[in-house]
Structure 1
Amino acid sequence: MEVDDGAELCFPQLNTSCRKPTLPRSEAVFLNTLLSSISLLTVALNLLVIISVSHFRQLHTPTNILLLSLAVSDFLMGLLLMPVEILRKTSCWFLGDLMCSLFKYVAYIIPSVSVGDMVLISVDRYVAICDPLHYTTRITERRVKLCVCLCWFCSVFYCSLFVKDDLTQPERYYSCYGECVIVVDRITEAVNLVLTFIVPVTVIIVLYMRVFVVAVSQARAMRSHITAVTLQRSVTLTTKKSELKAARTLGVLVVVFLICFCPYYCVSLADDSLLNTSSGTFVIYLFSLNSCLNPVIYAMFYPWFRKSVKVIVTLQILQPGSCEANIL
């Protein structure tokens, strides 16, 4: 963060101390209040999603398990990353070099998991729309849970390769005491950009383009057969409408994800050091805001989420047998 020469030192007793940020008091208070509110809202909304999908038996579906994994990563974003990022950007870093390295480790893991969840959600919708007859046999709860566990494990292992030097030599990139900067060499950053953004986003876009084409053709087919009166045809049409609606909702989720994530990775590609300046602050906060927007999208498009929130807030969830409640 940019500071002037008259700024006070973070550690006055050290000649190598960084200078304190010189944000105007009113601006600092506003920024801290706004970002803290977003952090609390992110934690609260995603906690509601976690409780809803975990508690109500009707919501134990493959698609909702993927949403649960995404909600867990978003919850951790609001609980861990956002508050620490506020501290890192608006004040001196007093938590030490090791905590800074751990923060960077978690800061790599959570976005990596979110991207992996988005890919799995896209695959889920692709199979549901493009191969509906085999959806129930190919996409089972057990397989989805296994994929989610693999996603988290691979993210933890993969990201450890990027921060292993930071964990063993946490002070090597710091120019002064009292700062926590994210510095990655260009080759490592390029590899990370390809593996955690370009390839997954390409897969997501290709799958959803295919889903969109099939969804449009199915919608036309349903309109042309809307006058069918047989029970079997009615059930089939209802099922197709439900799947198409889910695809549209999750499509919105993916679009918002891309809007929030693309600026961050574009800045990283252009010059990774920009993320440690005031010019990179906006893209970092936009990147984090996605975790707050996801449950808002659920509330807008999923009636089951609104019903489950009502049951949770009114404490009906504490009643015996509430897990069997009709939420759908």
Structure 2
Amino acid sequence: HTGNEWGTENRAELCFPQLFNTSCKKPTTPLSQVLLFHILMPSMSLLTVTLNLLVIIAVSHFRQLHTPTNILLLSLAAADFLIGLLFMPGEILRNTVCWFLGQLTCSLYNYISFVVTSASVGDMVLISVDRYVAICDPLHYPTRITERRVKVCVCLCWLCSVFYCYMIVRDDLSQPGKHNSCFGECIIFVEFIAGFVDLVLSFIIPVTVIVFLYMRVFVVAVSQARAMRSQVTAVTLQLSVTLTAKKSELKAARTLGVLVLVFLICFCPYYIVSLFGDEFLNSASASIVFYFFLLNSCLNPLIYAMFYPWFRKAVKLIMTLQILNASTYK
């Protein structure tokens, strides 16, 4: 080969051949990750968008589903929908081809990803608080947890996420591409101190609160279940209604407990890996952990389908186009 031929071959491997000295090489997907980025993640992205869109339509359309708990599930579904629509395709693009969308788009993509993830964690904390009050203080639940208050909390959760995540990545937003080693890549970079603060505020504290509240819910739920079994012989109408209400709340606590447990299983490995730093977080070896992190957004609506009859019934109406004739849920 002549020097000219070597130069031509080398340029063909670059993202931007015209920027010979500063362009990144085209990424090569290892065989072990071909299945992940070319088959599993595209399929999961499509499924995540579809399922969470069904949740959003169901809760938004049917007035009888406008309960405080379902409003929290609606907010969580919106976050999961954005993860499936933006985050998953972005990760496929970031790991399989050159980043042709520009450094500012890369910074905005990372920022929006942080916001949506932070909002998801906030929703999980709010869901835990909702179940804690419903089970541990049922008499005051209707007055303390109202639709209006829950909507305000959800809005505050998203606004706080927007402001908080801006503080975390503001350096990258003000100088897009500052930490990139070459043109054609899009990396996640967070300063060490900001990353440590984010780890504490976005993971350690929320998970501690969630686990503590659900441990309290579990203890009270067990005692209530025993109380209901001991009162099963009572035949008064009032007691029957009370027991039915308690069973309903306990069932909701169990379902949302599964939701929270799956959330912890999917999120914990990712945040543990993030302790090793940005180099490991951007490495190919972290892709499986990151896959489970994203998988949570797809599993949430499947949990609703398994445990909530209202969701299955609403989806049936939506899929059969009866939603136009059904303004209320029956």
Q: TM-score, normalised by structure 2?
A: 0.94
Distance 2:319 2:65 in 1: 18
Distance 2:179 2:284 in 1: 19
Q: Corresponding residue for 1:271?
A: 277
Give the count of matched residue pairs. 320
Matches within 5 A, 1:1-328: 8-14=13-19, 15-23=21-29, 28=34, 31-319=37-325, 322-326=326-330
| 8 Å contact kept, 1:7–1:21 | no
- Cα deviation, 1:204-227, whole Å, max 9, x if unaligned, reads 000000000000000000011111
Shift in alpha-carbon separation, 1:168–1:298, aligned structure 2, 3 A: same
| 8 Å contact kept, 1:109–1:156 | yes
Shift of 1:24: 6.0
| 8 Å contact kept, 1:7–1:22 | no
Distance 1:287 1:30 in 2: 13
Distance 1:50 1:195 in 2: 28
Shift of 1:32: 1.7
Shift of 1:59: 0.4
Shift in alpha-carbon separation, 1:120–1:24, aligned structure 2, 3 A: closer
Shift of 1:62: 0.2
| 8 Å contact kept, 2:83–2:297 | yes
Shift of 1:271: 2.3
Distance 1:90 1:7 in 2: 16
Whichever residue aligns with residue 79 of structure 1, its letter is: L
Distance 1:257 1:20 in 2: 35
Distance 1:85 1:38 in 2: 12
Q: TM-score, normalised by structure 1?
A: 0.95
Distance 1:317 1:224 in 2: 43
Shift of 1:21: 1.6
- Cα deviation, 1:230-277, whole Å, max 9, x if unaligned, reads 000100000000000000000000000001100110011122321111
Distance 1:255 1:157 in 2: 28
Shift of 1:38: 0.4
Distance 2:59 2:123 in 1: 16
Gaps of 5+ in 1: none
Identity of aligned residues (%): 73
Shift of 1:325: 3.0
Distance 2:148 2:204 in 1: 29
Q: What RMSD, in angstroms, separates the aligned Cα atoms of the two structures?
A: 1.6
Gaps of 5+ in 2: 1-9
